[in-house]
Amino acid sequence: MMSDRFSAGLRQHLLDSANERPADGQLAAILDRVAVTAQRPRLVARLAWFPGRIGPFPSTAVRLALIAAALLAATLATSLLGGGGAGPSRSTVFEGTWIATDPGDGSRQTLDVNAGMTPAVHYEDAFSTGGACVADEVKVFTADGRGQIFENRLAVTYPAGGGCGLTTVPMETGVLDYDAATDTLLASDGVRWFRAREDGARPTPLPTIVASPRPESACLDLHGGGSYEASVGSLTLTATLPASTSWEGLPDSFLLSRFGCPDPESPVWVEAQVVTQVGPDACDRSGPALEVATAAEAISALAAQASIGGPDSVDATLDGYAGSQLEMSQSADFDASTCTDGVLAPLNDISSLDPGNILVVHVVDVEGTVLAVAIHWGSAAERDDQQLVAELDAVVASLRIEP
């Protein structure tokens, strides 16, 4: 039979045990949290369950303190490692969807980059105005490529080219550099790409794209022919290019190249400009320029330039507008460094004529505007290529002029 003193002690022990019982679900929550934390050192584990007292503290208090510490560690680990709302983890900074605005026509461009150091890449232009899609009813240009990442640079090649469906054209390697400060990609053509939101929408607000100086190599790819359109002063010119040829053209001014992007080394190209003045001479342009108001005045002034050799002008028309044609040249041994600014320039607004080159200029009157369309030939060899001559003549003959 128990004594009153023993009975009272047992009752107190049961009450104390009842106060330590966790609430419903509390124990399960603690087990879940502790399960994802690292195993505690052996000494700590032993201290947690050491019977009796540890110094002045009861073992129950020690256990509760250690459990609280474990919960705090689990919470910190979840916050630091789980991202805390920082967005999805990526294998590289390039992985994801990027958007940009086409500087040529303002259409939306999308670039999808997959995971890995050699990611699959999908490019899409929502509305293509290039010659590759001229025959397609739907103007969505797409291309699939493969990327290669070198530190903060992504180089993308498109082995099969791209197109809108009916025609596939080759594409050059695209190079994009990652800017960590703005989380953007800067392409080699000056276009900046912005990371799309997780829902695929444009960034909010849409960043303003500041146009950088356009490099000379930023040309429209017109391989496979098609239609090329560009502004010339107050006029709009449209040329139709043969499907069996390879052309490139500037988007902001009318300049077509038959052999690569227009640059000083391209042997053949077509250029158009509005003419208001003709210099006194192609080499010595120190005197006052002559104001011209008609095609006849422009041709007369060009034919009078002593440093330019060539036959008299002949009548010619462009898209029904009347005018003349003049072929000009200079010997290959001519020293152009003696000329004003070191260049031989028959027309102020037309690219210079290098020694040994040939320049065929069509000048017509378009409702009060004098328009000059020039074909630059790199040498007499190109000028004697009858197939090339026929092709260039066909491009000039295809011109449509809209005032």
Q: What is the mean pLDDT of each run of 10 residues along the chain (403 residues)?
A: 56 57 57 50 36 47 57 53 50 92 80 94 88 84 92 91 90 90 87 78 40 49 85 92 82 81 66 90 85 93 81 88 92 86 80 84 95 89 86 92 93
Residue 155, Cβ neighbours under 10 Å: how many?
15
pTM, two decimals, is: 0.48
Residue 297's pLDDT is: 93
With beta carbons less than 8 A apart as the criterion, state whether 374 and 361 touch: yes
With beta carbons less than 8 A apart as the criterion, state whether 132 and 228 touch: no
Residue 284's pLDDT is: 87
399-to-88, 134, 317, 377 alpha-carbon distances in Å: 53, 16, 11, 19
Q: How many angstroms separate the CA atoms of 23 and 12, rounded? A: 20
Torsion of CA 83, 88, 90, 94, to 10 degrees: -120
Q: How many angstroms separate the CA atoms of 358 and 342, rounded? A: 18
Residue 308's pLDDT is: 80
Whether the bond between 170 and the residue before it is cis, its omega within 30 degrees of 0, is: no
Of residues 131, 85, 124, the one with CA closest to residue 107 = 124
Residue 196's pLDDT is: 86
Residue 74, φ and ψ in degrees, nearest 5: -65, -40
Q: Which domains does the chain have, with CATH numbers?
A: 24-87 (no CATH), 96-195 (2.40.128), 220-402 (3.40.1000.10)
Q: How many angstroms separate the CA atoms of 189 and 329, rounded? A: 35
